[in-house]
């Protein structure tokens, strides 16, 4: 599979007055074409900033960020608009942000297609196919307010996919749904993704999502720290291009590892040890 997302040493700094906040601190991330991954991490870890960069809403401060061959660090305003219109789809946590209340479900899905060169018949056929795939074929004339919360999220997903994006970004897509409804939507999204070949990156706190994605990537302090492959027993620690590791916090606490550690090579293994007492504090 080819690479769809390639971020290397990605840095993003927010500036508020005289205050600077480093939200991404040299983040590395690669996502293959057609892959589905979930991004997890505590509030403030950099998840939302990463999604904003991939969506073309924020400009990286440094590093590399490429999506489907587009260099996000080099886009001018016109190119950025085209990128957001043609390359990415965005599913918001609050489904109504994807929807136009005054329009029917049918027209909501067609709306993002109006700037394209598709004919009326093609737009309608595409909208009908998406709505049917999400189980909304009997709700074509319903406005969003006439739909249940689950049906609204399904409609929002259809809207996000209507432009046939190379990359679908989903921000907490199941946060406002009960478990059975969430599981149903994730299963249908997985099926639809396999049909369309769309790459999916979602941010989530829902632990059940891991059963519907290929990998779960954990972000900590603005960098990717660990990943778990679907159905894998062990969590993998990510080694970035600078040779840095972010060890799981539970291991650090259990072993009492703090500012300094000793690293020793034993054959094909690296062993990490607590420093000796005289090594814990640097010499004055």
pLDDT tens per residue across span 200-239:
999 988 877 888 899 999 999 899 888 888 765 456 666 6
Structural domain boundaries enclosing 265? 248-284
In a domain, 135, yes or no: no
Query: What pLDDT does residue 226 have?
Result: 87
> Residue 278: inside a domain, yes or no?
yes
Residue 236 pLDDT: 61
pLDDT computed for residue 240 by the predictor: 61
Alpha carbon dihedral 198, 204, 210, 216, in 10-degree steps, equals 80
In the prediction, which pLDDT does 15 show?
84
pLDDT of residue 7: 96
| Position 258 in a domain | yes
Residue 34 within any structural domain of the chain: no
CA distance 51 to 67: 12
Number of domains in the chain: 1
Whether the CB-CB separation of 188 and 22 falls below 8 Å is answered with no
Q: Is residue 262 part of a domain?
A: yes
Residues of the chain with confidence (pLDDT) below 50: 1, 233, 284
CA 156 to CA 128: how far, in whole Å?
14
Residue 222 resides in a domain: no
The closest of 169, 163, 164 to 54, measured between CA atoms, is 169
How far apart, in Å, do the first and last CA atoms of the chain sit?
Answer: 53
Q: How far apart are CA 25 and CA 215, in angstroms?
A: 22
Distance (Å, whole) CA 194 – CA 153: 19
pLDDT at 19: 86
In this structure, how many other beta carbons lie within 10 angstroms of the beta carbon of residue 68?
18
Alpha carbon 19 to its chain centroid, in Å, reads 27
Is 6 contained in some domain? no
Is 261 part of a structural domain of the chain?
yes
Q: What pLDDT does residue 147 have?
A: 96
């Amino acid at each position: 599979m080819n690479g769809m997302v390639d971020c290397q040493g990605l840095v993003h700094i927010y500036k508020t007055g005289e205050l600077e906040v480093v939200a991404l601190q040299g983040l590395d991330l690669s996502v293959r074409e057609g892959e589905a991954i979930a991004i997890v991490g505590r509030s403030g870890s950099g998840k939302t900033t990463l999604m904003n960069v991939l969506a073309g809403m924020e400009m990286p401060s440094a590093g590399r960020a490429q999506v489907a061959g587009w260099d996000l660090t080099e886009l001018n305003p016109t190119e950025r608009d085209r990128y957001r219109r043609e390359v990415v789809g965005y599913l918001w946590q609050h489904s109504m942000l994807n929807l136009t209340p005054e329009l029917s479900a049918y027209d909501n899905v067609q709306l993002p297609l109006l700037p394209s060169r598709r004919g009326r018949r093609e737009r309608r056929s595409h909208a009908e196919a998406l709505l049917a795939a999400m189980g909304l074929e009997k709700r074509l004339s319903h406005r969003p307010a006439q739909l249940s919360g689950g049906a609204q999220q399904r409609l929002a997903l259809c809207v996000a996919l209507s432009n046939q994006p190379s990359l679908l970004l989903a921000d907490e897509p199941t946060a406002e749904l009960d478990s059975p409804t969430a599981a149903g939507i994730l299963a249908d999204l997985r099926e639809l993704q396999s049909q369309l070949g769309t790459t999916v990156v979602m941010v989530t706190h829902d632990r059940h999502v891991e059963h519907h994605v290929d990998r779960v990537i954990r972000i900590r302090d603005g960098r990717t720290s660990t990943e778990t492959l679907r159905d894998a027993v062990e969590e993998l620690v990510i080694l970035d291009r600078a040779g840095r590791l972010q060890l799981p916090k539970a291991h650090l606490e259990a072993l009492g590892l703090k500012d300094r550690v000793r690293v020793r090579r034993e054959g094909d293994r690296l062993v990490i040890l607590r420093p000796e007492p005289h090594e814990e504090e640097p010499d004055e």
